[in-house]
Every structure is written in structure tokens, then in C-alpha cells.
Structure 1
Amino acid sequence: MPHEGSLLQAAVVFLFAAVLAVPLAKRLQLGSVLGYLFAGVIIGPSVLGLIGNPESVSHISELGVVLLLFIIGLELSPKRLWVMRKAVFGVGMLQVLLCGVVIGGIALLAFDQPLNTAIVLGLGLALSSTAFGLQSLAERKELNSPHGRTAFAILLFQDIAAIPLIALVPVLAGANQDLAPGASLTHALEVVGSIAIVVIGGRYLLRPVFRIVARTKIQEVSTATALLVVIGTAWLMELVGVSMALGAFLAGLLLADSEYRHELEAQIEPFKGLLLGLFFISVGMGANLSLLLSAPVTVLGLTLLLIALKLPLLMFIGRMAAGLERQSAFQLGLVLAAGGEFAFVVFKLGSSNGLFEPRVYDILVLTITLSMAMTPLLFMAVARWIKPRPKAASPVPEEYSEIHSDNPRVVIAGMGRMGQIVARILRAQQIPFVALDMSVETIEFTRSFGNVPVFYGDPLRPEILRAARVQDAEFFVIATDDPDTNIKTAELVRKLYPHMKIIARARNRQHVHRLIDVGAHAVRETFHSSLEMGRQTLLGLGLSESQAQARIQRFKCHDEAVLAEQHKVYDDAAKVLQTAREARKELEQLFETDRLEEQAALKP
């Protein structure tokens, strides 16, 4: 039983290291990928030596990459790619090729690497970290900024480009091998035949199979089928000497427009997350930390060289190809300057195929890891230098920005879900109103339903409020989905128009208290829908319509009374908690009293 014991021990070590290291890395704003890498370094031979043989888990961990590429294939629907075709295949391709040529050329000329190795080095280091890039943009709420959209398009193309690159590595590695022309032709036919089997089978067999499995309504069979498709196509590709990842990607791509896409993604996602984490842990375990002591200048120098090469190239691409301003182009460079997770996959494959010497591979792994670790540090370092600028005047159609209003009785700020419903009610009642929004897409969508008086404008600008003739209105409805914007807008409107009646959207109870402080009537965005859900649940549990309605009304009145009481002490967390506990007991007693009264009324 020693093998079973060692396997269980390894599983415990991996899970324990991940549970400790990943949350810590996220807390330090370093990202989950670095957390996994650091966990692997700690438990690997270089530090604690809890896992003596990193290669023992490499084959299992590679399944994480296979599942990741299947998910990427699922998400790359042809319709989505067509909409983003210019940014993805224009800017994205330019970035990969330009960075690949420059980095590969330096590897060839300055570091005297063979041509095939230089190609893999250049294209591998041209890739950036999707996990790091999207995470850093999301944390800074910059996904919809100009550089955020450009970064997303480039990362999307990099994910696509990684597939042929992974498939190309064994071919480039075979350039040094003396293969007979007949053998090469046979191998090429095997590859083409396997891809044809995957494409034809995926198009004509997979959907009927999933339809049959779905009818069984057995979750574990559906999950097993999804794993069979992914691992089966990966295995078929490996049989003919092509990367497993290519087969998984093709399978995902063929199912991208399938009605089972979301179900497949949900079933594969947990396995993908765990196995991909295991892959990064195995990479960290294989990291040769002794190089930091024996050759610190080489490792640190190459890390700085990678960032120093990619950052200006990305800025150039952002300025010339994407039309970004200087500051946005610099932020684009910061997001994408580091190496990426696919580089680990490419270089590990290249090392196993003899393209890199072990020392070169170790240096590359450390270089990419350090460049990824430097990314959040670079953001922190330049945070004070890069200050948010007011948004430049985007190409807003003139008819959207010129506000025409004839004595509106209501002004609505924000035409999202809540704002649109308010506008529809007012329009049905033929009550004149004016709506403001900062999204051109939202304005276009709203105006497509008819001549809706919605205009482009920031409600935090006094001149916009004057143009909307707020002074003539009776109500100002604040319906944006940003709590801070709602509070600032309410403060400004109250300051400029003291007698205005303000109705504002509130995110939570604390938000309600702050809106009340500035004289607005706060409406909790999920409160009334939650009450209706509770009423429907009570009806389903056997209560009569009148009983359910009475319970909900009792809860509503009690909660509003508690909220008003908590407003007096909302800045004291201990008193708020005490009030909530007392209110819970009081509500239980009220419900019990109602129940007893109903029982008494039923008795003859």
C-alpha cells in the first residue's frame, strides 16, 4: 500500500499548499497564478522537498491545459469573433507577430540560439497572461476602457495563436531530425486525417450524443460524456504526435454554437480549475531557484529585458494600430508586458522535445514567473503617476448630446434596467420627462423603441443638469447602478435645487442611510423583488393568498421600521448588530402571534 499512501500524501500536500498560497497571493493582489507557482516552489525540491519528483504529476497536470483550451474553444463562437474581427485579427495579430519577430531576432542574433528555438522563444514570450491581464483590468474597473477593450482583443488573439504554436513546437523540434520524405508525408496524412475525424465527428456525432445523454437527466453521465469528448480528442491528437491541446481546442470550437455549450462549460470548469492549478504548481515545483543565487544578473536581466522590449512595442501598437492616447497605450503595455501562462506550456513542450537545454528552460521559467510577479508591483509603482483623466469627448452623435426638453416633470439619471422601467411607466402616463445616460450603446438601444427623450450627459455636471431643465422638474430619479455616483448625484442635485424631490436607487442598507442623509428617498433595488419571491415561496408551501400577503406585509412594515431605527445609529456597527438581533426576535414573535390569531379564528 505504499503507493496509495504516497498518492494520498501528495494530494494532501497539493491541496494544502494551494489553500494557503492562493488566497494569500490574491490578498496581496498578486493573482491566483502566482499563488499556485509560489505554492509549487515551496513544496518542491528547491525548498521544503515535500514532493521529491515533480515529473510524477506532470502528465495529470497537463490535463488542466487541455481543459482550458477546450473552454477557450467553447467561448470562441464565430459570431463573437466576427464582431471583434478588426481588433482581434488586426491589432492582436500585429502584437504577436511584431513582439515575436523582435524577441526571436534578439534570441537568434544576440544570444546565438538556433533558428527553430528562436522562433519558439519569440512567439512564446510574445504571449501575455490572460489570467493576470483580465484580473488586473477587472480589479481596476478598466475592462470597458479603451486600453481594456484593446487588451481583451489582444489576449483573445493570443489564446487563439497559442493553439497553432503548441502544435508547431514538435514540428520545429523535428527540424533537426533526419526524417525520410515518406515518413514525413505519412505523418502529415495522419495529422490531417485525425483533424478530419475530430471535425466531422464533432459536427455530426457530438450533438446527437449530447441530446441522448441530456434526455437521461443523469448529471454524472453528462459530466462523464463531456470529459470523454475532451480527453478522447486530446488522446487522438497525441496518438498521431500532435499536441493534446489542439484536439481539445477543436472539440470546443465545434461545440461553440451548440445549445449544450453552457452546460459543458459548467461541467468542465471545476476540473479545469483544479487541474490547471496543479499544472502551475508543477511548474513552480520544477523552478530551479538556485539560479537566482548562481546567476542573479542573468535571470533579473532577462526579466527586465522582456518587459523593456514588450512595453514600448505594445505602446507603439496601441498608439498606431488601436488609436489609443499615450496614457492608455502605456496602461496597455503594463497589462500585457509580462510573460503568460501559455509560455509555460510552450516552453515545457519545447524542453521535452529537445529545443531547449535544461538550464535555458529553467531560466525561462524563472524569467516568466518574475515578470508576472512584477506586473502588480509596476501597477502600484505607477498608480500615483497615472492619474485618472476625465474621459475624452468620445464620438457621441450630435443628436444625443444636444438636450431638447420642454418643461419636464421628471428627470431620470441612468437608463439601465430600473431607469427604463420608470421611463416606460411615465411615457404610458404621458408624463413629460428627460433621461440622461453616459453609454452611447444604451442610448441607441433605448431610442430604437421610439422617440424616447434620452440624451448623453453626466448628471454630475451642473451645466448638463441646467440643459436638462432640472429646475423645471418636480422629481429627479437617480437610477444608475453605481452607489457612489448615486450619492454624489443626490448631493449635487440637493445643493443646486434644494426643493427638488429626489428618488434614488439604493444598493444596500448602508447606501440607504447615506442617501437619506442627503435628503433623498431611497428605493432598495432588490427589496421588492425579494418580497415577491418570498410571497411565491410561502404560497408554494401551502399558505393561502391572504396569509402569504399578510406575512409579507408584516415583514415589509417591520423591516422599514427597523431600517428607520438603524438610521439613528448606522455609523456604530455594534449598535446596528444589536438592533438587527432584537428585530429578528421581535419579527419571530409577531409571526407567532399572527399564527395563533389565525388558529383561534378558525375554531368554532
Structure 2
Amino acid sequence: MPHDINLITTIAAGLGLAMIMGFIASRLRMPPLVGYLVAGIIIGPSTPGYVADVALAGQLAEIGVMLLMFGVGLHFSMDDLLAVKRIAVPGAIVQIAVATAMGMGVAIWLWDWSLGAGLVFGLALSVASTVVLLRALEARGVLDSVNGQIAVGWLVVEDLIMVLVLVLLPPMAGLLGGKVDEAAQGAAAAGTSVWLTIGITLAKVAAFIGLMLVVGRKVFPMLLWQVARTGSRELFTLCVVAAAVGVAYGSAKLFDVSFALGAFFAGMMMRESEYSHRAADESLPLRDAFAVLFFVSVGMLFDPQVLLDEPLKVLAVAAIIIVGKTVAAMALVLAFRYPLNTALTVGASLAQIGEFSFILAGLGVALGLLPVEGQSLILAGALISIALNSVVFSAISPLQNWLRKHSELARKLEARTDPLAELPMSTDQAQLTGQVVLVGYGRVGRLIARALREQEIAYVVAEQNREIVERLRGRGVAAVCGDAADPAVLIQAHIHRAGTLVIATPDTLKVRKMVETARTLNPGVEILVRSHNEEEAELLSKENIGTVFLGEEQLALGMARHILARHGGGKD
């Protein structure tokens, strides 16, 4: 060949083999991503035959992570992130501490590793893969639900913590028994240098977030608007991709935050634009293609020989990731008085490890802290946990039903007294007759509530997010916390005396259960349902669920009414 084609060969081999193995996995009723991982093992350096360029594959995977996190940011506003901060921040911190302690305990006491090796090993097992989580939540249509928001917010906090760990580990390597970092060698006092590094790191992260909040919220929407005015579709797509990759790269170089975190905040800021939905649609094909390359690159790093050499150690690692982290996360979520379903969803979300684990393991080996065997075990645990993550998610519903049936503790947890699950005794009873019961207080729910307030129409909000319910009660709004598919929640909202039930939640999978409860308790109640697509709206209408409102249809009607009003209703 007249020139180097390693990049083309790696992309062609990775995507082509991933398509074949993903198809085979799908035919075997397994998640396609299992096939992508197997494809990576086949073209990796640990198996005979063609070996793809591992370094290039890793960089392509990083682009995939950037685009995927950018897409998440387009659907995840700062308000959504702040709405789950009270559970996501302490939950992520405690869960990382518990998982790290489990990994350290096994590595130090059972395998006789050093303190530094145990610390790196435990930290690598504590952080989940955002890519895997998003694929799982999107596949089940719960990314925009409260459970999905909590899981994503939890992982964003984990990513922030790992950014600090990756920056602080090199200067602390000497104290932990590894190679002394060059910057640390020049410091006058080790203790002072470490605290100075921590301060600088926190300042950089704070500066990046502040810049994105202050400047990004104005610059990105304006940029999309100017590009959209050109009428060029390819230029618009180029603007979206350039913003995602450019901000991710700039944030890593200037502020030492991860590519993924930088792209995530870029997406959140661009969400302020009216073209955010179009930006998400335009970047979707690229996100899917590069996400496949991410899983292929994970498979390329895996050496199957470790399964034969250290089977018990591999099982221990898998148990910590899939069982230990899941149980710890569930306990934390339940401690915050969230329902069992939320605890199971968050636990399943964290039952895997990914990109940050690989980066941390590689850094640990380079600093002389983590043995090469530890890196192989981490990769084995990642491969097993990623492959089984879909199975873990699929087990949520059956496990929830089994626990309710056989576990007295589970029933007590769900039946325990929760002050937010009941309306305060001080609620004006006059506001609980003929009122509107509003299920969901997201973007649509907030607009409906504002209109009801302006017209002085009484309403009660039923919302799963505890922090939103607390804020509403602080403003004197009648609100109950819980899943409206549970009859107890609608009972607390006094559905039996309501005039209208409005289901404004983005999760329409439980609409039928809500409607069944409402009509059983109040046969005459009027029901309004939000829908996302024409097929779903038509199906709900045929089932006589109630009056169904489709977003695009209502937008068209609103614009038509404006036109008719502007032109006096047309010709006489």
C-alpha cells in the first residue's frame, strides 16, 4: 500500500466483525453488545489471527464516549441533575467507599497485595461505565424517568470523583509504595504538595463547571441558531459533532477533566437551544457507530488466559462488581426512602465497570502500584459484568415481585411510614374536591401546573422524585411522593374526589395501571394522557384510556390557531 491504512483497517474489521457477532448474539437471544465484546476478543492481541491496532481502537472508543455523553447531556438538564443531588452525591460517595473497601479487603488480606495495589484495585471496581448504563436505560425506555435520572446523576458524580482520583494518584504514588511522580520529586514537602494538588484540581473542575454554566448557556444556543439559519444540514451536523468533540478535548487539556464529562456538560448547555432535539437526532448515527467501537475495544484488551489461570480470583472480582456494589447501592437508595423499584434500578445500573476502570488500571500499572495481574482481573470483571448487565436489568421486575411475596423485610420497607407519601393533615380539604391530580412534575407537568395556578384551579401533584415533592410542599403545593402506578399514591392524592387525572409523566408504560385505579375509585373522573408517538397515541385511544395528547399534533394545532387568529379566521 502507498500509505498507512491502520485506521481504515481497524474500523473496517471492528465494525464488520461486530455486526456479524452482534447478529449471532441477537439470534441466540443475547444482547448484541455481547457480540461486540466477542468481536473485540477475536481481533485482539490475545487470540491468533489478525490483530487490530489497540491504540487506535481505544481512541475511536473515546470518540464514542464523547458523542454518547454529549447526547445524554442534550436530554439531561442542569435542573434534572440538581433535582437528584441529595441522593446522587452522598450515594455515589458512600458506594465508592464501600466498593473500594471490598476490593482492598480481598486484594490485601486474601491475595497479599500491597496497600497501593489494593487501593487502585478497589477504586477500579467501584466506578460503573456510563456507556453501558445509557445503553441499558435507553433500551428499556427509562432514561427520562426518575429512576433513570437518579442513575445518570449518580454516575456523573462518580465520574467527577474519578477525575480527582486520576489527578491525585500520581503525586501520591510514592506514599503508596509506587514510583515517585516527577512533579512530586520537586516538591519541598510531600504533605503540602498533595494538598496543593487537591486544591488546584478542585479549582480547575469548579472553573470548568462555572465557565460552562455562565458562558456555555449563552454561546451554544446562539451558535446552533446561527448555523441553523444557513439552511445547510451537513453544516448543522458538523457544528454538533465539532461542539461535542471540541469541548470534550478542550476541557481535558485545559481543566484536566475527562473527555466524557466535558462532552456531557457541552450537551447540557446546548440543550438550552430550541434545536436541541434536532442536534440529538443528527448525532445519533455517529453515536451508535462509535459506541460499538467502544465495546470492541474493551474486548481487544481482554486476555482469555486469565480465566484459566485465576478462575477463583475472577469470580471474586465479578461477585464484588455484580453482587457487592448492587447490594450496597440498593441499601443506600432504600435508606433515602425511595421505593424498591428505584433501588433495584440503581443497583442494576452500577453492577458493571467500564472506561474509568480501564484508565485507572493502566495508570496504576504505569505507576508501579498495580500488578499486571490486577489489570487482567479488572478487564475480566468488566467483560463479565458488561455481558451480564442486560440479564441483571431483566431480573429487576421478577426479583421485585419475588421479594414482595417472600420477604417480610421488603414488605416492611415498602409499607413504612413516609411523611412525603401522605398529604399533610393541614391540607385544605376544600382543595381536595374536584381537583386535578397531576402525575409527573417534569417539563410538561410544570407548564400544566403553572396554568392551573394562574386560573386558581386546585391540583395535587403525584411525583416520584422526593426532592421535587419537598420543594413543592415548601411552596405550599399539595404533593405526594411515590409511583402513581401504586394505588396508594392515587388514594393519597384523593383521586376518588378528583375531577381530572392528568398523566404527564414521560414513562407511559404504567398508564393502564394508573387509569385502572382511577376508574375503580372514581368512575366519572376525566383522564388526560401524554403520548410520545402516533402509534402509542392510537393504541391508547383504541383502548379508551382517555383523551390522548400527542406533542407534535398539539404543536400543529397551536400554530394553526395562531394563524387563524392572525388572519381573522379566514375568508367569510
Kindly indicate whether the alpha-carbon contact (under 8 Å) linking 1:436 and 1:456 is maintained by their aligned counterparts in 2.
no
CA 260–346 in structure 1, closer or farther in 2 if over 3 Å, else same = same
In structure 2, the residue matched to 1:44 is: 44
TM-score by length of 2: 0.66
**Paired residues for 1:334-345 under 5 Å:** 334-345=348-359
Kindly indicate whether the alpha-carbon contact (under 8 Å) linking 1:92 and 1:158 is maintained by their aligned counterparts in 2.
yes
Mapped to 2, the partners of 1:341 and 1:106 lie a distance apart of 22
Task: Report the 3-state secondary structure (helix = DSSP H, G, I; strand = E; otherwise coil) of the residue aligned with 2:303.
Answer: coil
Mapped to 1, the partners of 2:452 and 2:147 lie a distance apart of 38
Query: Are residue 310 (structure 1) and residue 325 (structure 2) matched?
Result: yes
Mapped to 2, the partners of 1:285 and 1:340 lie a distance apart of 14
In structure 1, the residue matched to 2:539 is: 510
CA 235–67 in structure 1, closer or farther in 2 if over 3 Å, else same = farther
AA aligned to 1:290 is: Q
Kindly indicate whether the alpha-carbon contact (under 8 Å) linking 2:65 and 2:260 is maintained by their aligned counterparts in 1.
no
CA 130–105 in structure 1, closer or farther in 2 if over 3 Å, else same = same
AA aligned to 2:178 is: N
The alpha-carbon deviation at position 284 of structure 1 amounts to 0.8
Segments of structure 1 that go 5 or more residues without pairing to the other structure are 238-244, 550-604
AA aligned to 1:439 is: E
In structure 2, the residue matched to 1:231 is: 249
Task: Report the 3-state secondary structure (helix = DSSP H, G, I; strand = E; otherwise coil) of the residue aligned with 1:288.
Answer: coil
Query: Are residue 286 (structure 1) and residue 301 (structure 2) matched?
Result: yes
AA aligned to 2:96 is: V
Kindly indicate whether the alpha-carbon contact (under 8 Å) linking 1:344 and 1:365 is maintained by their aligned counterparts in 2.
yes
Mapped to 2, the partners of 1:206 and 1:527 lie a distance apart of 32
In structure 1, the residue matched to 2:462 is: 438
Query: Are residue 480 (structure 1) and residue 472 (structure 2) matched?
Result: no
**Mean Cα deviation higher: 182-191 or 500-509:** 182-191
Kindly indicate whether the alpha-carbon contact (under 8 Å) linking 1:69 and 1:248 is maintained by their aligned counterparts in 2.
no
CA 206–385 in structure 1, closer or farther in 2 if over 3 Å, else same = closer
The alpha-carbon deviation at position 530 of structure 1 amounts to 5.3
In structure 2, the residue matched to 1:386 is: 400
What per-residue deviation string (whole Å, max 9, x for no partner) do you get for residues 177-234 of structure 1? 3678985339979999999899889959987998997897475578657644543554
AA aligned to 1:397 is: L
Mapped to 1, the partners of 2:223 and 2:451 lie a distance apart of 44
Mapped to 2, the partners of 1:221 and 1:351 lie a distance apart of 38
Mapped to 2, the partners of 1:513 and 1:398 lie a distance apart of 38
Kindly indicate whether the alpha-carbon contact (under 8 Å) linking 1:65 and 1:279 is maintained by their aligned counterparts in 2.
yes
Task: Report the 3-state secondary structure (helix = DSSP H, G, I; strand = E; otherwise coil) of the residue aligned with 1:398.
Answer: coil
The alpha-carbon deviation at position 501 of structure 1 amounts to 8.1
Kindly indicate whether the alpha-carbon contact (under 8 Å) linking 1:95 and 1:154 is maintained by their aligned counterparts in 2.
no
Query: Are residue 346 (structure 1) and residue 369 (structure 2) matched?
Result: no
What per-residue deviation string (whole Å, max 9, x for no partner) do you get for residues 20-61 of structure 1? 556877898976765543331243345674434424533554
The alpha-carbon deviation at position 299 of structure 1 amounts to 2.7
Kindly indicate whether the alpha-carbon contact (under 8 Å) linking 1:414 and 1:435 is maintained by their aligned counterparts in 2.
yes
TM-score by length of 1: 0.63
CA 177–319 in structure 1, closer or farther in 2 if over 3 Å, else same = same
**Paired residues for 1:282-431 under 5 Å:** 282-304=297-319, 306-318=321-333, 322=336, 332-380=346-394, 383-387=397-401, 392=415, 394=418, 395=420, 396-399=422-425, 403-404=429-430, 408=434, 412-414=436-438, 417=444
Kindly indicate whether the alpha-carbon contact (under 8 Å) linking 1:413 and 1:435 is maintained by their aligned counterparts in 2.
yes
What per-residue deviation string (whole Å, max 9, x for no partner) do you get for residues 525-563 of structure 1? 458525526848999xxx99748x9xxxxxxxxxxxxxx
AA aligned to 2:249 is: I
AA aligned to 1:361 is: Q
**Mean Cα deviation higher: 148-157 or 37-46:** 148-157
Mapped to 2, the partners of 1:40 and 1:422 lie a distance apart of 50
The alpha-carbon deviation at position 369 of structure 1 amounts to 1.4
**Mean Cα deviation higher: 179-188 or 291-300:** 179-188
**Mean Cα deviation higher: 197-206 or 217-226:** 197-206
Kindly indicate whether the alpha-carbon contact (under 8 Å) linking 1:34 and 1:373 is maintained by their aligned counterparts in 2.
yes
Kindly indicate whether the alpha-carbon contact (under 8 Å) linking 2:44 and 2:300 is maintained by their aligned counterparts in 1.
yes
AA aligned to 2:361 is: F
Mapped to 2, the partners of 1:493 and 1:341 lie a distance apart of 45
State which structure, 1 or 2, has the greater radius of gyration over its C-alpha atoms: 1
The alpha-carbon deviation at position 167 of structure 1 amounts to 2.3
In structure 1, the residue matched to 2:100 is: 100
In structure 1, the residue matched to 2:257 is: 246
Mapped to 2, the partners of 1:490 and 1:260 lie a distance apart of 33
Mapped to 1, the partners of 2:79 and 2:449 lie a distance apart of 33
In structure 2, the residue matched to 1:581 is: none
The alpha-carbon deviation at position 121 of structure 1 amounts to 0.4
AA aligned to 2:378 is: L
The alpha-carbon deviation at position 168 of structure 1 amounts to 3.7
AA aligned to 2:384 is: L
In structure 1, the residue matched to 2:232 is: none
Out of 529, 532, 535, which is 2:557 matched to? 532
AA aligned to 2:325 is: K
In structure 2, the residue matched to 1:185 is: 187
Mapped to 2, the partners of 1:336 and 1:299 lie a distance apart of 18
AA aligned to 2:102 is: V
Mapped to 1, the partners of 2:385 and 2:308 lie a distance apart of 18
The alpha-carbon deviation at position 513 of structure 1 amounts to 1.8
Kindly indicate whether the alpha-carbon contact (under 8 Å) linking 2:124 and 2:357 is maintained by their aligned counterparts in 1.
yes
Kindly indicate whether the alpha-carbon contact (under 8 Å) linking 1:73 and 1:253 is maintained by their aligned counterparts in 2.
yes
Mapped to 1, the partners of 2:221 and 2:321 lie a distance apart of 48
AA aligned to 2:128 is: S
Task: Report the 3-state secondary structure (helix = DSSP H, G, I; strand = E; otherwise coil) of the residue aligned with 2:306.
Answer: helix
Kindly indicate whether the alpha-carbon contact (under 8 Å) linking 1:21 and 1:36 is maintained by their aligned counterparts in 2.
yes
Task: Report the 3-state secondary structure (helix = DSSP H, G, I; strand = E; otherwise coil) of the residue aligned with 2:400.
Answer: coil
AA aligned to 1:398 is: P
AA aligned to 1:300 is: L
Segments of structure 2 that go 5 or more residues without pairing to the other structure are 228-234, 405-410, 532-536
CA 488–271 in structure 1, closer or farther in 2 if over 3 Å, else same = closer
AA aligned to 1:438 is: A
Task: Report the 3-state secondary structure (helix = DSSP H, G, I; strand = E; otherwise coil) of the residue aligned with 1:384.
Answer: helix
The alpha-carbon deviation at position 95 of structure 1 amounts to 1.8
Q: Give the fraction of aligned pairs with identical amino acids, expressed as a percent.
A: 23
AA aligned to 1:373 is: A
AA aligned to 2:296 is: I
What per-residue deviation string (whole Å, max 9, x for no partner) do you get for residues 423-461 of structure 1? 968996x9xx875553388888889999x9998996996
> Which structure is richer in relative contact order (CA contacts within 8 A, separation 6 or more)?
2
The alpha-carbon deviation at position 365 of structure 1 amounts to 0.5
What per-residue deviation string (whole Å, max 9, x for no partner) do you get for residues 560-602 of structure 1? xxxxxxxxxxxxxxxxxxxxxxxxxxxxxxxxxxxxxxxxxxx
In structure 2, the residue matched to 1:570 is: none
The alpha-carbon deviation at position 163 of structure 1 amounts to 0.6
